Chain A
Amino acid sequence: GNSVTQMEGPVTLSEEAFLTINCTYTATGYPSLFWYVQYPGEGLQLLLKATKADDKGSNKGFEATYRKETTSFHLEKGSVQVSDSAVYFCALPLYNQGGKLIFGQGTELSVKP
């Protein structure tokens, strides 16, 4: 079946450190892939997306490349800020089930000054 697996958190980094959050997926075909971010007490916001293999999604300094050969969509940022502290979710849509999203477990990131 379809599934998404994320690296476990929490991840604690110092400001300006390099960030990688791993995400791998199992799916039929080649679906789009999303990264969402959730700040404390809020809903989820779309951070970036990729719609086909080798696509690179990017936003606010974050990047993720859709790797078909490794079924991965790892999130990266070259220099994190305290304001990036949040929970990050990798997600996979199911088109034949009303477009619902399957989410990874979420990875909590804490950035210290």
Chain B
Amino acid sequence: DGGITQSPKYLFRKEGQNVTLSCEQNLNHDAMYWYRQDPGQGLRLIYYSQIVNDFQKGDIAEGYSVSREKKESFPLTVTSAQKNPTAFYLCASSTHTGGSASPLHFGNGTRLTVT
């Protein structure tokens, strides 16, 4: 079955450490996205990528970095510069081609706790 795999499901880190969250998809989708979810704040876009080797900042990119070296993979690094990194992180993909109404397919998320 095709889908999006995020790993690990739970991640614990000490303050000051960088951490990388994995996201892999086998849906052959061109576009991939990272969202952050906090209680009472809905989902906010961190970064997105429409094509390999290209990505754009979302609404809350500060303290995060991404890469898109392969179509299937879009890892997110939470750096020590991110002031409030503890959150639930969701990766998504779509067949977005600019004008179509393509829904996003989501992974099951990674819950990051930084202490």
Contact = CB atoms under 8 A, between A and B. Distances in A.
Interface of A: 31-32, 34, 36, 41-46, 49, 51, 89, 93, 95-101, 103-106
B105 to A, nearest CB: 8
Interface residues of B, number: 30
Given A43-B109, A99-B31, A49 B103 contact: yes
B50 to A, nearest CB: 5
Contact of B101 (A31, A44, A104): A31
Contact of B56 (A46, A98, A101): A98
B98 A95 contact: yes
B90 A44 contact: yes
B108 interface: yes
B101 A93 contact: yes
A103 B56 contact: no
Interface string B31-48: 101000000111101001
Contacts of A104: 42
Contacts of B99: 95
Interface in B72-102: 90, 92, 94, 96, 98-102
